[in-house]
Amino acid sequence: MVRIKICIEGGGSGREHDETFRQAWTRFFAAAGLNRRMPRIVRGESRTRTFDKFREALQRRRHDEIVIMLVDSEGPVTAGHNPWQHLGNRDNWDQPPEADDHSAYLMVQFMETWFLADQTALRNFFGPSFNENPLREWPDLEAVPKDTVLNALDRATSDCQKPYSKGKVSFELLEQINPDAVAAACPHARELLVFLRGLTQLR
C-alpha cells in the first residue's frame, strides 16, 4: 500500500506545537475525503527547515512511500510556472534529484488565503461580532497580496472575542474550513487535493 508523507511549512518551533499542527491538517485532509489514505503530517516549522526536512524524507523514503512538500508561495506565482520554477526563482531552491513534478505544492500566497475562500466558515468560527465588510469578492484570490489578506482578517475579527492570530487560532480555523471551497477559489490548492485524492485509488 502506498504511504504518503507531507512536509508542511509552519507550526512554529518546539514540540508543544506538534499535536495542534498535525491535528489541524489531519482534520482538513479528512474533510477532503482522504480518510482512506491519510497523509502522515510532518511539521516543517520555518520555510528553510521545511525544505530540509523534505529533502531528508526523500532520501530516506521507502519504496512504497510518496513524499510531498507544501509551502507558502510568499507572493504571486508567474503564469505558466510550476512550483519548482517558482521556488527556484524566489528561494533559489533546486529540485532534488529524487523529486518530481508532483513533489512540491504551494499555498498561494499563504495559508490565510485559503481562509478567505470559505467565508461561511469564518462567520461560524468568529461569531456574531465578525465584520464581513473588509472581505471583498476578489475574482482571483491567489493574486491578493499577503498584507491585504492579513489586514482584511484583522479588521474583520477585531471586535470578536477571539480575533484572528497565527498559532492556535489559525489552526483551529484550518480544522473548520471546507476543502472544496478552497479548491474552488485557489487553483494551486485544487492541484494538491486532486493529486492526493488520486493516490487514494492506488493499492
Q: Which three cell numbers stand for residue 6?
A: 507531507
Residue at 11: amino acid letter:
G
pLDDT at 37 > cutoff 80: yes
Calculate mean pLDDT across residues 65-86: 97
Q: What is the pLDDT of residues 119-129, one digit of tens each?
A: 999 999 999 99
Least confident interval from 9-13, 94-98, 157-161: 9-13
Specify the pTM.
0.95
Three-state secondary structure call for residue 32: coil
Q: Given this model, what pLDDT does residue 203 score?
A: 58
Q: How far apart are CA 78 and CA 13, in angstroms?
A: 31
Q: What is the pLDDT of residues 182-192, one digit of tens each?
A: 999 999 999 99
Q: How far apart are CA 154 and CA 112, in angstroms?
A: 11
Three-state secondary structure call for residue 68: strand
Contacts of 84 (CB under 8 A, 6+ apart): 93, 95, 99, 101, 104
Three-state secondary structure call for residue 109: coil
Q: What is the pLDDT of residues 160-188, one digit of tens each?
A: 999 999 988 999 999 999 999 999 999 99
Share the mean pLDDT of the chain: 94
Only one residue has cell 461580532, namely 129
Q: Which three cell numbers stand for residue 62?
A: 521507502
Q: Domain residue spans in the chain?
A: 3-111+168-199, 113-157
